[in-house]
Amino acid sequence: SPLPCRNCRAETATAERMSRTQRTTDDEVVAFVSQYGNPSNIVAITEPGVFQNMIIVEFDSGNALCELRKILPYTYSCYREKVTYDILELATICADSFGELKTREYLGELKQLAKLTGRDYAEVLTGLMSLLGQSITEQSPTHPDSRKEVMPTVPSTAAQRCQPQPASRCYGYGTQFQR
């Protein structure tokens, strides 16, 4: 059988070295977050999508996430390699992605509305912005009647959210590879 070309061998060796480096740096950042609690599950995601090139760590207890929240978002720099990881709470990533998705869907619906009504898309957006501005004005703290509506009904400070949690399956954080 023919031998692989020299370039192919070099590419394979480079890919293997990069893979080893990636595993080493992944292990290093997982060890860092393990200082905050015991990971029960670790998943590296390589498939295309919102979570591509992320590591998701699941902790045994919500207490780990409460401790991590004190430093998040955090950029971890590896010691031996020039690789950094952005450590973020998974809920934040999900909320941002979901919010962006819903906004894009809504804007698509507004474009469709503009087409159906024969109005200019910019005109539809201007009308919407006017309504949003009016809503913000109505909800501002200068209106004493509206203050009750915007006050949160659940604890919102980090200390209140981070009361001791029972052992549970709690998603901890996602890190994004930056190679």
My answer on whether 122 and 144 are in the same domain is: yes
SS3 for 132?
helix
SS3 for 77?
strand
- In which band, very low, low, confident or very high, does the pLDDT at 154 lie, cut at 50, 70 and 90? very low
User: Which structure tokens are listed for 91?
Assistant: 């809920």
d(CA 90, CA 97) in angstroms, rounded, equals 11
So what's the pLDDT on residue 11? 42
My answer on whether 71 and 118 are in the same domain is: no
pLDDT one-digit tens code per residue, 61-120: 888 888 888 988 888 998 888 888 888 888 877 777 778 888 888 899 999 999 999 999
pTM (predicted TM-score): 0.52
Residue 118 belongs to what domain range?
Answer: 96-150
My answer on whether 108 and 90 are in the same domain is: no
My answer on whether 20 and 74 are in the same domain is: yes
> How far is C-alpha 42 from the chain's CA centre?
16
My answer on whether 168 and 90 are in the same domain is: yes
Is 158 among the domain residues?
no
pLDDT one-digit tens code per residue, 42-51: 888 888 877 7
d(CA 141, CA 124) in angstroms, rounded, equals 28
* Higher pLDDT among residues 4 and 82, named by residue: 82
My answer on whether 20 and 47 are in the same domain is: yes
DSSP character at residue 51: T
Q: How many domains does the chain contain in total?
A: 2
Average pLDDT in the chain: 71
Is 1 among the domain residues?
no
So what's the pLDDT on residue 169? 32
Instruction: Report whether pLDDT(131) > 50.
Output: yes
- In which band, very low, low, confident or very high, does the pLDDT at 152 lie, cut at 50, 70 and 90? very low
